[in-house]
Chain A
Amino acid sequence: KQEVTQIPAALSVPEGENLVLNCSFTDSAIYNLQWFRQDPGKGLTSLLLIQSSQREQTSGRLNASLDKSSGRSTLYIAASQPGDSATYLCAVRQMDSSYKLIFGSGTRLLVRP
């Protein structure tokens, strides 16, 4: 059974720092991996989606990498801003279940002004 783990569970950094969020998964037979952002009381906003054949995706200050063989993904946030404060969730889609997302528990990020 696929298990997705995110470390750290919470992170507090001063504004301007570069930071890395980690996601690991136990079953490498994934179709893709997605990073989401969740603000309090809000739904999930998709940030980056990496297909299983890809190594990384970039959007603005965000860069996500995927190492399928080792079961790891990282989300790199450059020059963090207070507006980046949110919970970041990673989710995988399995090869044998093309629609279901399996989520980690998230990393709660606080960027201090």
Chain B
Amino acid sequence: GAGVSQSPRYKVAKRGQDVALRCDPISGHVSLFWYQQALGQGPEFLTYFQNEAQLDKSGLPSDRFFAERPEGSVSTLKIQRTQQEDSAVYLCASSLASSTGTGTNYGYTFGSGTRLTVV
């Protein structure tokens, strides 16, 4: 598609419920990122995929968070047993380039995010 698409736009979950957030990156984009943005804060890195390989998951806050990108395109971020502190906007971004370090301009395209509210 023309941009990065995320669904659902809004999700209200009861504490303890499992949720799954979907990201459709731009077709052909190699790299995919998930960020978490708490209210009034900047986005914080969660995890990074290069094609189907999850190369960095250092930002995932706990083992309740799990992300996958099985075919190197669509990605799903799953949060198990949601807690109130998980309430945030979850942003997905994709990039045509891979993480090759220097020489990579690295243009990111962000989706509109999923706003998760845990009650």
Which residues from chain A sit less than 8 Å from chain B, CB to CB?
Answer: 4, 6, 31-32, 36, 41-46, 49, 89, 91, 93, 98-106
Which residues from chain B sit less than 8 Å from chain A, CB to CB?
Answer: 4, 31, 33, 35, 40-45, 48, 56, 59, 91, 93, 95, 99-102, 104-108, 110-113, 115
User: How far is it, in angstroms, between the C-alpha of A9 and the C-alpha of B106 when the chains are bound?
Assistant: 27
User: Main SS of the interface on chain A?
Assistant: strand
Closest to A45 in B: B110
- B104 cross-chain contacts in A, Cβ below 8 A: 98
Is A106's CB under 8 angstroms from B106's CB? no
Is A99's CB under 8 angstroms from B112's CB? no
User: Main SS of the interface on chain B?
Assistant: loop
User: How far is it, in angstroms, between the C-alpha of A41 and the C-alpha of B106 when the chains are bound?
Assistant: 24
Is A99's CB under 8 angstroms from B33's CB? yes
Is A99's CB under 8 angstroms from B40's CB? no
- A41 cross-chain contacts in B, Cβ below 8 A: 112, 115
Is A103's CB under 8 angstroms from B44's CB? yes
Is A98's CB under 8 angstroms from B99's CB? yes
User: How far is it, in angstroms, between the C-alpha of A109 and the C-alpha of B110 when the chains are bound?
Assistant: 21
Question: Shortest beta-carbon distance, A91 to chain B, in Å?
Answer: 7
Is A99's CB under 8 angstroms from B106's CB? yes
CB within 8 A of A31: which of B44, B102, B111, B113?
B102
